[in-house]
Amino acid sequence: MTNFRFSTDLPEKQLFYDLFLTTGWNIQYKLEPDELYEALNQSWYCISAYHDNILVGFGRMICDGVVHALILDLIVHPDYQSKGIGKTILNKLVDKCRQHRIRDIQLFSVKGKAGFYQKCGFKDRPEGAPGMEIKKIR
């Protein structure tokens, strides 16, 4: 994993927005750069990955600091996938939870990526497990 630098500082707004756009998620969310950056600022912990000062990966968590943590927005630029960046980011997020003895770590995962998370120790929630959502689409 040479040539990659990891940082817990928030990335620059436009760098993150550009990385976020590579996911296609903004088709649904329709977020402006300022809105997205405000969400990042509300995170408990973030990890950014850089290659030659280019933001190539990112992951963040929201957490109550005691019981629950939720991993969100684990993104690796398509040109940099399969280089261990996502795994390193995920491990750093989980390590932060372990340091604080967080008892429950959950995450959102994109369809088709469950295998990646399973290799990193996550398990599918059982069918019928608690959890629901509501989405407000503009």
**135 located within any domain:** no
Number of separate domains in the chain: 1
CATH number for 39: 3.40.630.30
**112 located within any domain:** yes
> What distances in angstroms separate CA 138 from CA 26, 30, 44, 61, one per listed residue?
12, 8, 26, 24
**134 located within any domain:** no
- Residues of the domain holding 106: 5-119
Tokens of 134: 């509501």
Sheet holding 5-7, edge to edge: 5-7, 45-51, 54-63, 68-76, 104-107
Q: Are strands 5-7 and 45-51 parallel, antiparallel or unpaired?
A: antiparallel
Q: Fill in the DSSP letter of residue 13.
A: H
**24 located within any domain:** yes
Specify the residue for token string 């939720």. 70
Catalytic (active-site) positions: 117
Give per-residue pLDDT as tens, 20-78: 999 999 999 999 999 999 999 999 999 999 999 999 999 999 999 999 999 999 999 99
Whole-model pTM: value is: 0.91
- Residue 42: the pLDDT is 97
